[in-house]
């Protein structure tokens, strides 16, 4: 039996290119194509009636334009703990626009009566459930390591951070918490008592894998240009070895968020005199083609949830390096099997790059292993797990 799913995401999703946003559109469109009745909702000031990135059989609500005039909320009378939480987190409630969006979300729920609600972020769950109770099951998605949002909290301690307190209070009302890896689930068990379910992101099989026999002398990083993505660290590392490898290039693909950070990266490239070897390539829609043109993928993110760029590179057969300390990255890169894990310092990153640059046979070996290592993250497995948890959530509610 196909269910009705309400996906809710955050503000400013319309023009965003990050991984969580890509997954929002992917899941809404794919579940609709698989026969589910899908409703998608998010607030956006510039897009009142439609979203071209959603397929025609996905019903869309811009929460900013939902009319709640005359709507009577089923908001329950706040309990003592609700009142305490509000008093201590009012600044965060205002920041997240909870009071503004809560009734609008509820109005959509009342009109559409979904079988299950899937908020894409913890703060969206806060907008959904703060001082409210739903009989409809909620599956909370988590797009990064849960330590970014949750910690073990004693709500009666006065030094608890308001954001963490609000998330702890609201997310407990979700029936399930979805995470990407078992290690993420293990972390959550110490923070929240919700049921956790491990569901990876889907990694499509490459139409045409990379050919490691053909040396291109290119190092690729496919991600948005962002401080947490660590492009600066990669440039520092490459500057150590650039003169020894004058015919090798580092190509950075992705949009700069914020734009100012892109200027910082450009200035660093210029300061090192690497304009001919390190290049900002902008956004590409030819992801697989770009990856096939690379010998090495360098993913120096400081942390990740489930890194889409890295997973796509490995699935295409590109051996990769990444930081040993970076969540998500250290789950997908198996050290000395499909790539190399590095310490968070330019010298070690440079050394690991050289190891791969100098050894074509090693790159071939890692390339073959990389493709095999991504097979367990198939689209088929992804939908099988999601359909199973949706059915469990609905039938047990």
For 122-132, the pLDDT digits (tens) are 999 999 999 98
Q: What is d(CA 291, CA 123) in angstroms, rounded to the nearest whole number?
A: 34
Residues 369, 385 within the same domain: no
Between CA 172 and CA 276 the distance in angstroms is: 52
pLDDT band, residue 207 (cuts 50/70/90)? confident
Query: CA-based Rg of the chain, rounded to a whole angstrom?
Result: 23
Nearest to 304 by CA among 323, 286, 317: 323
What number of helices (H) and strands (E) belong to the chain?
14, 13
pLDDT in tens, 183-202: 999 999 888 888 999 999 99
149 in a structural domain = yes
Considering the domain boundaries, does residue 38 fall inside one?
Answer: yes
pLDDT at residue 73 in the model: 84
Domain assignment of residue 118, yes or no: yes
| Cα 201 off chain centre by | 9
73 and 96 fall within a common domain? yes
For the ranges 2-16, 89-103, 234-248, 336-350, the lowest mean pLDDT is seen at 2-16
Q: What average pLDDT does range 47-67 have in this prediction?
A: 87
Residues 247, 136, single domain; the answer is no
Q: How many domains does the chain have?
A: 2
Q: What is the pLDDT of residue 191?
A: 87
Cβ atoms within 10 Å of 289's Cβ, excluding its own:
12
Rounded CA gap, 301 and 232, in Å? Answer: 10
> Per-residue pLDDT tens for 129-157?
999 889 999 999 999 999 989 988 887 78
Per the CB < 8 A criterion, the answer to whether 226 and 242 are in contact is no
Using a pLDDT cut of 70, give the percent of the chain over it.
Answer: 97
Q: What angle do CA 134, 147, 320 make, to 5 degrees?
A: 120
Taking the mean position of all CA atoms in its chain, how far away is CA 273? 34
Q: What is the CATH number of the domain that holds 262?
A: 3.40.50.2000
- The pLDDT value recorded for residue 152 is 85
Based on the domain organization, do 188 and 244 belong to the same domain? Answer: no
Residues 224 and 366 in one domain: yes
Is 8 found in the same domain as 125? yes
Q: What is the pLDDT of residue 158?
A: 80
C-alpha to C-alpha distance for 165 and 391, rounded to whole angstroms: 30
Alpha-carbon distance of 8 to 134, in angstroms, equals 15
Instruction: Tell me, yes or no, whether 84 lies in a domain.
Output: yes
pLDDT given at position 69 = 86
Looking at residue 33, the DSSP 8-state letter turns out to be H
- pLDDT higher than threshold 70 for residue 15: no
Higher pLDDT: 59 or 83? It is 59
Domain match, 150 and 284 both:
no
For residues 295 and 69, the model is more confident at 295
Mean per-residue pLDDT for 323-350?
97
Q: How confident is the model at residue 70 (pLDDT cuts 50, 70, 90)?
A: confident
The answer to whether residues 134 and 256 belong to one domain is: no
Residue 187 belongs to what domain range? 4-202+378-396
Examine the domain organization and report whether 22 and 114 are in the same domain. yes
> Residues near 52 by Cβ (< 8 Å), separated by ≥ 6?
none
Q: Looking at the structure, do residues 32 and 163 belong to the same domain, yes or no?
A: yes
Q: Are residues 72 and 192 in the same domain?
A: yes
pLDDT reported for residue 176: 95
Q: Determine contact, residues 136/16, Cβ cutoff 8 Å.
A: no
Element spanning 169, H or E? helix 162-171
- Residue 156 within a domain: yes
Q: Are residues 158 and 275 in the same domain?
A: no
Which pLDDT score is estimated for 154? 81
Question: Are the beta carbons of 195 and 125 closer than 8 angstroms?
Answer: no
Residue 207 resides in a domain: no
**From CA 177, how far away is CA 120, in angstroms rounded?**
11
Q: Is residue 213 part of a domain?
A: no
In this structure, is residue 210 part of a structural domain? no
């Amino acid at each position: 039996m196909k269910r009705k799913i309400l996906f809710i995401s955050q503000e400013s999703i319309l023009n965003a290119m990050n991984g969580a946003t890509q997954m929002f559109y992917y899941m809404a469109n794919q579940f609709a194509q698989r026969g589910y009745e899908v409703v998608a909702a998010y607030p956006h000031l510039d897009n009142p009636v439609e979203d071209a990135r959603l397929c025609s059989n996905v019903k869309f609500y811009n929460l900013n334009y939902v009319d709640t005039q005359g709507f009577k909320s089923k908001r329950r009378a706040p309990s003592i703990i609700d009142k305490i939480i509000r008093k201590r987190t009012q600044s965060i409630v205002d920041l997240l626009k909870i009071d503004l969006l809560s009734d609008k979300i509820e109005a959509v729920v009342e009109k559409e009566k979904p079988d299950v609600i899937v908020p894409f972020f913890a703060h969206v769950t806060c907008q959904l459930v703060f001082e409210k109770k739903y009989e409809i099951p909620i599956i909370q998605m988590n797009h990064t390591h849960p330590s970014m949002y949750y910690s073990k909290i004693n709500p009666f301690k006065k030094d608890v951070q308001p954001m963490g307190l609000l998330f702890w209070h609201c997310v407990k009302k979700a029936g399930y918490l979805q995470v990407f890896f078992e290690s993420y689930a293990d972390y959550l068990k110490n923070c929240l008592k919700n049921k956790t379910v491990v569901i990876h992101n889907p990694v499509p099989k490459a139409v045409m894998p990379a050919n490691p026999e053909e040396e291109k002398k290119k190092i690729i990083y496919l991600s948005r240009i962002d401080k947490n993505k660590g492009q600066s660290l990669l440039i520092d590392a490459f500057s150590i070895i650039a003169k020894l490898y004058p015919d090798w290039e580092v190509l950075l693909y992705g949009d700069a968020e914020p734009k100012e950070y892109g200027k910082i990266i450009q200035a660093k490239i210029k300061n090192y005199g690497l304009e001919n070897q390190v290049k900002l390539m902008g956004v590409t829609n030819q992801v697989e083609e770009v990856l096939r043109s690379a010998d090495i993928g360098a993913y120096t993110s400081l942390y990740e949830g489930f890194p889409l760029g890295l997973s796509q590179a490995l699935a295409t057969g590109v051996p990769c390096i990444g930081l040993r300390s970076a969540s998500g990255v250290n789950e997908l890169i198996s050290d000395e099997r499909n790539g190399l894990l590095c310490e968070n310092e330019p010298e070690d990153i440079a050394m690991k790059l050289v190891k791969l640059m100098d050894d074509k046979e090693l790159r071939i070996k890692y390339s073959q292993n990389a493709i095999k290592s991504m097979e367990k993250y198939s689209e088929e497995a992804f939908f099988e797990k999601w359909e199973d948890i949706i059915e469990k959530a609905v039938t047990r509610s």
